[in-house]
Amino acid sequence: MKLPEKTVERLSEYRRTLLNCLANGKTHIYSHELAGLHNITAVQVRRDLMLIGYSSMKKKGYDAQELISVIGKLLDCEDGLNVGVVGMGNLGRAVTAYFNGKRPKLNIVAAFDVDPNKTNRVIAGVNCYHFKDLADVVKKSNIEIAIIASPPSTASMVAEQLVNAGIKGILNFTTIPITVPDNVYLEEYDMITFMEKVAYFVKQNSMK
């Protein structure tokens, strides 16, 4: 099954909202409720669920627990997926601390840096290795996904090493776009771009 990118993003978001609902004792949710919480239309929610083949078969809203499990089967790997972070500066540490514990099937299991003050220590709850040991640790710890949080000037070199080490997916936090082979999935996640986007539309709104 090939899901549209945007649907994949929303499924991730729906799931977290559903988990929240359950935590608040709400076991069922209507499409228009889920839509309202995400600032989208109820049709879009229903279409996304249609695409993943999920149907409530009742008119009493979707069963949160059931839908969470259906989304989980799609998004999660049964045995989990291991993540490594390259660069343990402010951003790398914050991302690691922030991320870990949020998703049970997705864990940051190793960090990498070149600063001797950071290597061979536990930082933000994760073992930090020297970057030169990347390939070994990736193999040993079965890491398939990497976050790049190193200085921008190192981004493309880091990306190359990650690809060589067998990484299959990259989330690039640096402001320099990188290039990877077709078989590696890349997501550019650039804060500056989004800040400037907000600024542009604020400016636009102020002019009309």
Is 198 a residue that touches DNA (CB under 7 A)?
no
Restricting to residues 137-166, which ones interact with a copy of itself according to CB under 8 A?
Answer: 144-145, 147
Is 61 a residue that touches DNA (CB under 7 A)?
yes
C-beta of 57 vs 207, nearer to a copy of itself: 207
Residue window 78-97: x/- pattern of binding to a copy of itself, with contact defined by CB under 8 A: ---x-x------xx-xxx-x
**121 contact, one of a copy of itself, DNA, none, CB 5-8 Å limit per kind:** none
3-state per-residue secondary structure call for the chain? CCCCHHHHHHHHHHHHHHHHHHHCCCCEECHHHHHHHHCCCHHHHHHHHHHCCCCCCCCCCEEHHHHHHHHHHHHCCCCCEEEEEECCCHHHHHHHHHHCCCCCCEEEEEEEECCCCCCCEEECCEEEEEHHHHHHHHHHCCEEEEEECCCHHHHHHHHHHHHHCCCCEEEECCCCCCCCCCCCEEEECCHHHHHHHHHHHHHHHHHC
Is 69 a residue that touches DNA (CB under 7 A)?
no
Interface positions with a copy of itself (CB under 8 A): 2-3, 5, 8-9, 12-13, 16-17, 20, 36-39, 74-77, 81, 83, 90-91, 93-95, 97-99, 102-103, 105-106, 144-145, 147, 168-171, 175-177, 179, 183, 185-187, 189-206
